A and B are shown apart, each in its own frame.
Chain A
Amino acid sequence: MKNNTILLLIILVVAAALRLYKLGTVPASMYIDEVAIGVDAKSIAQTGRDIHGNAWYQPIFPSYGDFKLPVYIWLASLTVKFFGATEFAVRLPSAIAGVISVYCVYHLICLLFSSHKRKEVIALSTAFLLAITPWSLLFSRTGFEGHVGQMMLLVSVLCAFTIQKRAWMSVVAGLMGGVATYSYFSVRFVFPVLFIAVFVLTFRKKTWRQSLFTLMLGLFVFFFTLIPMIRSPHYRPMEILRYSTKNIVSDTYPVIRSNELRDADNNTLFSRVIHHRYYYAGKTLMGHVGDHLNPAYLFVTGDKNLRHGTGVVGILYFSYIPFLVVGIYVCAKRYRKVGIFLLCWFIVALLPASVPYDTPHALRSLNGLIPLISLVGFGAYELFFWLYQKHLFVFIAVISGGLSLNAIFFIHDYFSHYPQRSAEAWSASRKAMAIYVRDHEKEYKNIRVLADERLFLWIVFYGNYDMRIIQRAEEKGYAKVAFEKVGFGFPIQNEFTVPNTLIIGQMADLNEFSKPTLISSEGNESLGYTDTRK
């Protein structure tokens, strides 16, 4: 048994190395949500209050008007307090969550395959594959709440598995489910289903009364933890915001299509059944789920959004194809219950990601990472074991070689080419702009930023302001419009006659007033500056 611990330690070191190396430098800059988290974290680290002056223990943070959930911000506050307001600190909670996920998946596999003779080997293989998988690596190195959410969900599932031995763990599981939901909103659908699934999987007829009680208790605790969130004044606005992007629930397509075809059929009873709008809504939903099952997306191209993928590799490595196939096959043959459990977990994770029209979405479906990698890890073990028994060592070498090449290629591309390819996606010019403002602030009496008012987030994050002043600053719809020397938004004309003013904006806008100098340009965004000293 000691060997296994050493191997697990090695895997954890590898996982940590891959996630911590150049953390904060690759990717090179932060997306708006990460910056917003950083700003709130900085504020809490300094003063115990968020940028609007609210106490840190609130269930929903208004942030810049997009209503964030608190857990990631709390974790980031701790890391920012320790390491200062840097990209590294903002992304550290996610990196740590990634390493914890590797550790937890080891125990999950041991529990799931408890009847297998070599469950530790399967667990080690799954942990290792999780440590190097693109889907996990990409989101471990960026400050997305979804990644911490899926880790908390995994922990809650582990707790749920120990309920048989210690009934009070159902309370802990319910609490962890709550924590997971306070990290990432879509977990509120996934946790109850998973909790019930664990209950079904570990069900024993002898103790059914006790099991039912603990199930009810756990669910009750979970829903109880959600009360503060639901009672928050920001809850309604948050819901409205979430459903404002194009999604199946709000889309009129099913109704229009249904009516169109029924009319063509003269609205007979037959046509009203066959052309029902639920069929079209259901088909669209299945289509979006299917997008997440597309083999090209899974193994070759990944998510086309460069914040969610590098564009040259799938969310899983190409060599995982035989692993996944074998994993599903052997589960279907000998571990039906486990297979169905993992399948349920995966499908339930896909459903919330399938409601919006933006599919496939590697971040929203991140709750499906663990079940998928479990099947892959199990399949890898079974395949290698089978090949070993048949003395087909050549195949073992070929597949291992293929996997190594996949990993090397991905990691090389990630650190050498991906930063440049994705600079626009990570708002690189905004960071450059904020650093310019910080570096040249002392030279001016007045600074005006003309572009998008949410640029205040970058300026506050990279600047050295006293957060108390920021908290008291003037706001317009949750965005700060003026603090210290800086003002945001388009000025009244005489601003340009005020001496010693630095003016920041899009090059196209600045051209109207005077000759601007470019600070940084990525894709559609070209930020530059000019000043009234010219």
Chain B
Amino acid sequence: MSTMEKKTEKRAWIYRWAVVGIVVLALFLRLYRVTTIPPSPYWEEAALGYDAYSILKTGKDYHGNAFPLLAFPSFGDYKPSLYFYTIVPFIQVFGLDVLAVRMPSILAGVGIVIVLYFLAKELWDERIGLLAVMFYAVQPWSIQISRVGFETNLATFFIVLGIWAMVRARKHPWFLLFAAVSMGLSLYTYHSARIVAPLLGMGIGFLWFKEYWKDRKACVVAFCTVCVMFVPILWNARSPIIAQRATETSIFSLLQPIVESNTLRDQDGGGVISKLMHHRVIVFGHLFASKYFAQFSPDFLFLYGDDNMRHGTQEFGVLHHWEFFTLLVGLYVMMEKKKKEYWLILMWIGLAGIPAALTTVSPHTLRFLISSPAFAFLSAIGGIRIFEGVLHIKHVMLKGVLFFVLTTWILFDLTMYLHYYFTHYASASARDWQFGYRELISALERNKKPDQKVFITREQGRPSIYYLFFTAYDPKKVQEHDRVAVKDQQELLEVGSYRFGVAIPLDKGMLVASSPGKRPSTSILKTSIYLPNGSVVWDIWEQK
């Protein structure tokens, strides 16, 4: 082997092991204390876990539906089905625990890191790949979402895998089939994917159409596969199985824009031009545009994230502070080179922004997550250019100082984020994670006498699912009573000797759990449950 070949081989070996190290780091950052930070499962996680447990034990969800294909009814919100099935093997291993619910998301997060490296290699080179996976491993967006049982993370993994396959398919067209399957799976994992995956697939297909069309057979097979996977969704497009979530959150369900359109037309006296100019399409379009661009506000991306404490720390944005500069430089490099690979990144981010803009809440950390790897790519491209720029400085001392300052700043920022997340975040957000249910259920079970009835108020949300989850209640019993049980939409209001409701009944001898401040003076306080910050979250008492 010549010296040149030896050098390249050695370089490849270094990169390979560096990437392995980063993957291990990514796994560590997502796995370390994942059952206590975030401090408890919130109701969606409990619902995911229990339905998966029900599938594992009985092959049906807890309402009695056998192996649902498209969506699980759950609370009447019809969650897409795939994530439930991925939890099943982990319940077998870890039991019905929050760890099992979060595992698919954790592994998806790490999986994205791995796929990103190979995707970067296909698109550019391993330098960008290394930097991109470094950035993604420590990206606040990815860390926050991977550590919770969020379906969006798994959907993002399938989409990223599909993008990789499509990019590889430029030289090996049969990877298109792989991409079709992967993107298709994302459709069954998360609502936003149903918009982004098809559009992104079409966009990439258009970008490298010439290369793909060389092997017509592969194209046709892949396209047919996509259609087959899409058919069940389209077939049910109007039923609540698919449409429920959309109608709840969509901006097109709002009345205010229609009122505004009519008011403006009236003020003009209702001519033809006025009808066109103030058409409700334009008013809705304006609303869509304002929500779409709000996702690119520096405050959301770099400083505060969105308003929901489960989606982020609110002390930091979804990206690190210094990524503001790497992203700008990355955009500059993109505009300079104008290659198709860069169009892919633009398209990726641009299309990923559509789902949240169609809903009333924007910016939205979960709905926009699909773009997070693309941001890491853009940062990496910018980072490489900055690195090269600093390298080119002739003045040795200035070069050294700059390197030192930049690296220190990046590491310092990273330390601040990780410190806050692992030390302060859990207790600051405990209430938003509905902390206290686990302790509540075990206290109730301890204090409950054999024939005693128990009542839990619904003020803190969905208590029945927590009871089922934390006691690993026999799903068969729940299914048997599903048709006659008292429910609110699909949320159970009674299970066994437990009742759940809003108004506390006055039955004597009943064990009641409620938010603090509601206990009648004639009752006996049994115990209280506390938040990490010391305030009371539940009171348990026995009625007289």
Contacts and interface: CB of A to CB of B under 8 A. Distances in A.
Interface stretch (B89-97, B285-293, B508-516): B285-293
Interface string A291-315: 1011111011100000000001000
A225 interface: no
Contact of B304 (A287, A297, A412): A287
A417 B264 contact: yes
A332 B382 CA distance: 14
A294 B277 contact: no
A274 B277 contact: no
Contacts of B267: 416-417, 420
Question: How many of chain B's residues touch chain A, expressed as a range?
Answer: 20 to 34
Main secondary structure of the interface of B (DSSP, over half): helix
A283 interface: yes
B285 to A, nearest CB: 10
Contact of B290 (A261, A293, A300, A332): A300
A144 to B, nearest CB: 25
Contacts of B298: 289-290, 293-294
A416 B268 contact: yes
A261 B423 CA distance: 10
B535 to A, nearest CB: 15
Contacts of B304: 287
B419 interface: yes
Interface residues of A, number: 30
A203 B303 CA distance: 37
Given A274-B416, A290-B302, A416-B267, A333 B297 contact: no
Nearest to A412: B277
B416 A295 contact: no
Nearest to A265: B423
B424 A283 contact: no
B335 interface: yes
Contacts of A294: 293-294, 296-299
Interface string A268-289: 0000001000000001001101
Nearest to A321: B293
Contacts of A290: 297-299, 302-303
B303 A300 contact: no
B308 interface: no
B336 interface: yes
A409 B277 contact: yes
A335 to B, nearest CB: 14
B337 to A, nearest CB: 12
A237 to B, nearest CB: 34
Contacts of B336: 329, 333
Contact of B297 (A286, A293, A318, A417): A293
A295 B293 contact: yes
B498 interface: no
B252 interface: no
Given A261-B424, A333-B336, A300 B299 contact: no
Contacts of B423: 264-265
A274 B303 contact: no
B208 interface: no
Interface string B400-437: 00000000000000011001100110010000000000
A420 B297 CA distance: 31
B470 interface: no
Nearest to B267: A417
Contacts of B416: 274
B332 interface: yes
Given A294-B297, A294-B298, A295-B296, A283 B268 contact: no
Given A318-B289, A329-B335, A295 B424 contact: no
Contacts of A261: 420, 424
Interface of A: 261, 264-265, 274, 283, 286-287, 289-291, 293-297, 299-301, 312, 318, 325, 329, 332-333, 409, 412-413, 416-417, 420
Interface of B: 264, 267-268, 277, 286, 289-291, 293-294, 296-299, 302-304, 332, 335-336, 415-416, 419-420, 423-424, 427
6 contacts: A264-B423, A265-B423, A290-B297, A293-B297, A295-B293, A412-B277
